[in-house]
């Protein structure tokens, strides 16, 4: 039996203006609109190569999600320093030492060495991690 198509299966419009008619970008005020916005972001990310209009629309949605998450789902790292902050951020995102190594494009064994203090983070590593976790670089420096 063929699968029934859902509204979310239809191809997305190519122009920004047409995407606005599908879902108008607006400030996210609750978890439902947050989830809806994330679903649209997922659809755009799965679409492959984006038009300029789709890319601009995606960037708009990402900025709205970042603003909402910073206000409502921020990770408190105020009492942590350096490696403890990194370990906390990994735990909060369900990541482990292997994920850390992949994120930093290192040999798989390096993630645990960094977490155990056997290897130090480079400045490039700190920048990558700060951007990935959405924190200031100085919180990752012990």
Q: Residue-wise pLDDT tens for the chain (142 aa)?
A: 444 444 556 789 999 999 999 999 999 999 899 999 989 988 998 888 899 999 999 999 988 988 887 777 655 545 445 678 888 899 988 999 999 999 999 888 888 888 887 788 888 888 899 899 888 887 787 5
How many Å apart are CA 35 and CA 52, to the nearest integer?
24
**Which sequence spans correspond to the domains of the chain?**
12-72, 82-140
CATH class, range 82-140: mainly alpha
Task: Tell me how long the chain is.
Answer: 142
How many Å apart are CA 18 and CA 66, to the nearest integer?
23
How many Å apart are CA 100 and CA 94, to the nearest integer?
11
Could you tell me the two tokens for 4?
């029934």
- DSSP tag of 95: -
Whether the Cβ atoms of residue 117 and residue 84 lie closer than 8 Å to each other: no
């Amino acid at each position: 039996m063929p699968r029934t198509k859902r509204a979310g299966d239809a191809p997305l419009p190519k122009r920004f203006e047409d995407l606005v008619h599908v879902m108008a970008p607006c400030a996210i005020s609750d978890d439902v609109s947050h989830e809806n916005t994330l679903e649209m972001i997922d659809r755009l990310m799965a679409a492959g190569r984006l038009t300029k209009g789709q890319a601009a629309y995606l960037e708009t949605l990402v900025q709205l999600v970042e603003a909402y998450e910073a206000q409502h789902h921020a990770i408190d790292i105020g009492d942590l320093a350096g490696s403890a902050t990194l370990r906390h951020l990994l735990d909060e995102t369900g990541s482990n030492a292997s994920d850390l190594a992949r994120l930093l494009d290192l040999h798989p064994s390096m993630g645990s060495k960094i977490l155990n203090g056997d290897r130090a983070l480079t400045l490039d590593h700190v920048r990558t991690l700060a951007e990935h976790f959405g924190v200031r670089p100085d919180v990752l420096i012990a």
